[in-house]
C-alpha cells in the first residue's frame, strides 16, 4: 500500500538570540490510507512543530524548514509555492487545533465560517452552501444543524465548537488530517464521544491521521502506531501494542511507568528525573542521557536508528550491536 504522507529527514530550525534551536531534527515516518500515527512526548519535544512544518506554517521569520521532504501522495510539499500550499491546506491537508476558538472567528456565525471552505474548494453558492454545511454538521452529530449555522461560536459549548471545527476539517475531504491535542479542553464523556467520532469519520473518508497528544490512554485507544519524540527527534516508533508491551527506549519506558494504574497501590507515582533539555544548548550525543538510568559511556555519541523488530525502531545504544 502506497503512503499518503511520507516525511523524510524533516528538519526545522529556530534562530534565537541564545542560539539555533533544532526544533525538528531529522524526523521521518510514513502513513497509509486510514492509518493513525500518535505523536507523544513532553512539552517542547517537537510534536506541534513537526505538524506545522508539514503544512509549512512554522512561525517566520525565526523558524525555517532547512531540510528533508514531505511527500503527500508522492508530491513534495516543501517544493510547492505559497499559492499552491494555500490551495492544499484545508482541502487536502486539514488541521484540528487544541483550542477551537483558534480556528473560529467570534464575530462571524458558524454558517458564514463554514461557507468559505465550501465556496473555495467546491465552488458551491447560495442554498447549496447552506445545505452542504448543515450536512457536514449533521455528520459530526450536532443536533439541529440548520439552526446551529445561525449561531455564533460563543453560543456553543466547547465540545460543540470542537465538532464544528471537525466538520470544517472534513469538508475537503482531506487526504491527511492533523489533530493537535483536540481533546485537551473536553471533559471525559465528551472526549470519548469525540474520539469515537474521529475514528468513524476516518473510516468513512479513509484519510490518514496524525494525532498529537500527551495522553497515552488516547494513543492506546485511537492510534495504530505511535512515535515518541524527545528533543526534536523520534526516539521510538512502532505499533501501539508492541511499544506498550515492550518499549525499547528508556524514555518510552519511563513515560509508560508514570501512568497511574487503576487498582495499583503505590505511595508515589513514578517520575522522570531531571528536566527536558534546553534545545539552544543541546550537547552532542543522546539528548536523554542526562536523565536516563541506563546511560553509559557510549551515550556521548548520537545513537543511530535501529530496527528492534520489523516495523519497530528506536534510537538507543542499548539496541545497537557492538
Residue range 266-282, pLDDT digits in tens: 667 778 888 888 888 88
* Mean pLDDT calculated for residue range 175-200: 85
pLDDT(11) > 90: yes
Lowest mean pLDDT: which of 31-35, 90-94, 188-192? 188-192
Find all residues with CB under 8 Å of 243, minimum gap 6, and list them. 226, 228, 236, 252, 312
Dmax over CA atoms of the chain, in Å, equals 69
pLDDT(263) > 70: no
Q: Where are the alpha helices (DSSP H) in the chain?
A: 47-54, 82-88, 110-122, 127-139, 145-148, 158-169, 188-205, 216-222, 240-245, 250-257
Is the overall model pTM greater than 0.85, yes or no? yes
| Closest by Cα among 58, 157, 41 to 100 | 157
Whether domain 5-228 has CATH 3.40.50.300: yes
Residue linked to cell 450536512: 135
pLDDT on residue 290: 92
Lowest mean pLDDT: which of 117-131, 166-180, 301-315? 117-131
- Judged on CB neighbours under 10 Å (0-12, 13-18, 19+), 212 is buried
Cα–Cα distances in Å, from 117 out to 33, 73, 92? 23, 22, 12
pLDDT(54) > 90: yes
pLDDT on residue 1: 59
The 8-class DSSP code of residue 311 comes to T
| Closest by Cα among 267, 179, 283, 262 to 223 | 179
Amino acid at each position: 500500500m502506497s503512503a499518503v504522507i511520507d516525511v523524510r529527514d524533516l528538519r526545522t530550525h529556530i534562530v534565537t538570540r541564545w542560539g539555533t534551536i533544532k526544533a525538528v531534527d531529522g524526523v521521518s515516518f510514513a502513513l497509509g490510507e486510514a492509518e493513525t500515527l500518535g505523536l507523544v512526548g513532553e512539552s517542547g519535544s517537537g510534536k506541534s512543530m513537526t505538524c506545522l512544518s508539514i503544512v509549512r506554517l512554522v512561525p517566520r521569520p525565526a523558524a525555517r524548514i532547512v531540510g528533508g521532504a514531505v511527500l503527500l501522495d508522492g508530491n513534495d510539499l516543501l517544493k510547492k509555492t505559497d499559492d499552491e500550499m494555500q490551495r492544499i491546506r484545508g482541502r487536502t491537508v486539514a488541521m484540528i487545533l487544541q483550542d477551537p476558538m483558534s480556528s473560529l472567528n467570534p464575530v462571524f456565525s458558524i454558517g458564514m465560517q463554514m461557507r468559505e471552505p465550501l465556496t473555495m474548494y467546491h465552488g458551491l453558492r447560495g442554498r447549496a452552501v447552506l445545505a452542504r454545511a448543515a450536512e457536514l454538521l449533521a455528520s459530526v452529530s450536532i443536533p439541529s444543524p440548520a439552526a446551529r449555522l445561525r449561531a455564533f461560536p460563543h453560543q456553543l459549548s466547547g465540545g460543540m465548537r470542537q465538532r464544528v471545527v471537525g466538520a470544517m476539517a472534513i469538508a475537503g475531504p482531506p487526504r491527511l488530517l492533523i489533530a493537535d491535542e483536540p481533546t485537551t479542553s473536553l471533559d471525559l464523556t465528551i472526549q470519548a464521544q469525540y474520539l469515537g467520532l474521529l475514528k468513524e469519520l476516518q473510516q468513512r473518508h479513509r484519510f490518514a491521521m496524525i494525532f498529537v497528544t500527551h495522553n497515552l490512554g488516547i494513543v492506546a485507544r485511537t492510534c495504530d502506531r505511535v512515535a515518541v519524540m524527545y528533543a526534536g527527534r523520534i526516539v521510538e516508533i512502532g505499533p501501539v501494542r508492541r511499544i506498550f508491551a515492550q518499549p525499547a527506549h528508556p524514555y518510552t519506558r519511563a513515560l509508560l511507568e508514570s501512568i497511574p494504574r487503576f487498582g495499583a497501590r503505590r505511595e508515589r507515582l513514578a517520575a522522570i528525573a531531571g528536566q527536558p533539555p534546553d534545545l539552544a544548548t543541546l550537547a552532542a550525543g543522546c539528548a536523554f542521557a542526562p536523565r536516563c538510568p541506563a546511560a553509559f559511556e557510549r551515550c556521548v555519541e548520537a545513537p543511530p536508528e535501529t530496527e528492534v523488530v520489523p516495523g519497530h525502531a528506536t534510537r538507543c545504544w542499548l539496541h545497537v550491536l557492538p
